[in-house]
Structure 1
Amino acid sequence: MCRWLAYSGTPIRLDELLYQPRFSLIDQSMHSRYGVETTNGDGVGVGWYPADSPAEPALFRGVGPAWNDANLREIARSTTSPLFLAHIRASTGTAVQQTNCHPFRHESWLWVHNGSIREFAKLRRDLLLAVDPALFPTIEGSTDSEVMFHLALTFGLRDRPVAAVERMAGLIEAVARTHGVPAPLQMTIGTTDGDRVWGFRYSSEGHSRSLYYSTETAALQRLYPDNPQLHRLSEETRLVVSEPLGELPGAWQPVPESSYGVIQKGADELGHFEPAAP
């Protein structure tokens, strides 16, 4: 499958999460501890919102393995952002090409996915026909992840993100039933509009891929008063990750099965996720 992270909070350099932690995202591209595959070498990408232009996310995507991408290393050590999504890819059958690498971008939105649609080739035509005709020309690659993004956009991601993703999941399961495909959907998803970040964990079989969120910064600062890295972060700082970036006790909380979360100014949200039948 894949690994991804979403960061929101005090502006930091990208390499502080992509490279520096003991179990950084780049380390996970070679040695994933929680993934289906231990190696995720079929592409890498990062999308970030510059502090001076938060409505226009920048995007880097490469087809090589993350651990060997010199351009990514240069960007990561010289780019600072208050909000970014990063992804390392393990293909589930579609081509290794730039247009199939995450994050996917549409206007101010970014989207990353870990998981798959079972027997996607069998379901692909019906799912594509459900995409808004105005959005269809912006599909550039051949992955199930990008189709999921465009279905969510079709169902109102920009106005009601949780309901849109629930409708997307419900449509996939309904189409799969007509084709006799059992337990079709496996997903953890991260998406953002540059202001808030949404994370989703769901699978048709009820045994979803791993997903974690960071403990509130204020609580960690009280727990570790002598940790200088924690004390330079704002109380609004939060991370969502496929697997923890370190082993600091109390720093990571598992996202419950069939759940969604929202990182936003003020109180964050955690709620139940339920696919909506079309």
Structure 2
Amino acid sequence: MCRHVAYLGPPVALGDLLIAPPHALYRQSWAPRRQRNGTVNADGFGVGWYAEGDPVPARYRRAVPIWSDLGLTDLARVVRSGALLAAVRDATLPGADGEAAAAPFAADRWLFSHNGAVGGWPASLADVARALPAEELLSLPAQTDSALVWALLLHRLRTGDEIGQALADTVLDVAKAAPASRLNLLATDGEHIAATAWGDSLWFRAEPGHHVVVASEPYDDDPRWREVPDRTLVVATRADVSLTPLKEPLP
């Protein structure tokens, strides 16, 4: 399992969201409060952010626990952004992919993270993977369940699906093939945040017209945080947040 967070709003220092709050993502790496599976998220971390005037995000990822990277504090103090996605990782299975397996995954203008696990991986998604072009399968950034879920989502995005629809359809396809999966997905293009609650906790905090945060769990005790019901799609902009129930796929 993992923990992740996405933000849209006025530019802030990365550390103001990821390190400074009392229950920030930094602390969630060793002391999450609402994580239902796993206890320590020490198998890597990453943050992706957008600079003003550039639609393609930058990323900083490491295969080490977030608390062991002493350079992150300086980076997070001086880098400011109005749109970001960050995650700490608890690996589903042991592997040698290292930094390549740490979210956020990125392509074009999109960032993506997966909080959960695909049941029966990898056999369960063999048929689903065959629907992807060979070039896309050969371009997987890591040999993990999250990387394949990202490839499925990216394929939909590049063929023109809107981010919310693409995320929902990806979850339903994977859940149909692997019903035991936990599929809390989080994605952004710098203007929208899309997320799914499917098997683990998901929360959001919004001040319409100003900012929105979507996260695995609240990073403070502000009463404005709202929990997202399980089996729900969230699509948010700086102006609005919408929640749409997701139906369980038929066997």
Q: Secondary structure at the match of 1:155?
A: helix
1:159 corresponds in structure 2 to 161
Deviation at 1:69, TM superposition (A): 0.9
Partners in 1 of 2:102 and 2:152 — Cα distance?
Answer: 18
* Misfit runs of 4+, over 4 Å: 275-278
Matched, 1:115 2:89: no
1:251 corresponds in structure 2 to 224
One-letter code aligned to 1:12: V
CA RMSD of aligned residues (A): 2.0
* Pair 174,238 (structure 1): closer, same or farther in 2 beyond 3 Å: closer
TM-score, with structure 1 as normaliser: 0.83
* Pair 114,201 (structure 1): closer, same or farther in 2 beyond 3 Å: same
Matched, 1:267 2:250: no
Partners in 2 of 1:256 and 1:188 — Cα distance?
Answer: 12
2:181 corresponds in structure 1 to 185
Partners in 2 of 1:162 and 1:276 — Cα distance?
Answer: 17
In the alignment, is the contact (CA less than 8 A) between 2:42 and 2:64 conserved in 1? yes
1:237 corresponds in structure 2 to 211
- Structure 2 regions of 5+ residues with no counterpart? none
Partners in 2 of 1:69 and 1:185 — Cα distance?
Answer: 31
One-letter code aligned to 1:193: D
One-letter code aligned to 2:231: S
Q: Secondary structure at the match of 1:112?
A: strand
Deviation at 1:15, TM superposition (A): 0.3
Aligned residues: 248
* Pair 164,275 (structure 1): closer, same or farther in 2 beyond 3 Å: farther
* Pair 252,265 (structure 1): closer, same or farther in 2 beyond 3 Å: closer
Partners in 2 of 1:239 and 1:72 — Cα distance?
Answer: 21
In the alignment, is the contact (CA less than 8 A) between 2:212 and 2:238 conserved in 1? no
In the alignment, is the contact (CA less than 8 A) between 1:31 and 1:39 conserved in 2? yes
In the alignment, is the contact (CA less than 8 A) between 2:204 and 2:226 conserved in 1? yes
Partners in 2 of 1:87 and 1:79 — Cα distance?
Answer: 17
Query: Considering only CA atoms, is the larger Rg found in Structure 1 or Structure 2?
Result: 1
Partners in 2 of 1:190 and 1:167 — Cα distance?
Answer: 13
1:15 corresponds in structure 2 to 15
Deviation at 1:134, TM superposition (A): 4.3
In the alignment, is the contact (CA less than 8 A) between 1:19 and 1:26 conserved in 2? yes
Deviation at 1:277, TM superposition (A): 6.8
Partners in 2 of 1:72 and 1:87 — Cα distance?
Answer: 13
- Structure 1 regions of 5+ residues with no counterpart? 177-182, 203-207, 219-234
Once the two structures are aligned, what percentage of the paired residues are identical?
28
2:77 corresponds in structure 1 to 77
- Can you list the C-alpha shifts for 1:214-233, whole angstroms capped at 9, x where unaligned? 1x327xxxxxxxxxxxxxxx
* Pair 134,277 (structure 1): closer, same or farther in 2 beyond 3 Å: farther
1:65 corresponds in structure 2 to 65
2:27 corresponds in structure 1 to 27
* Pair 168,270 (structure 1): closer, same or farther in 2 beyond 3 Å: same
Partners in 2 of 1:164 and 1:253 — Cα distance?
Answer: 24
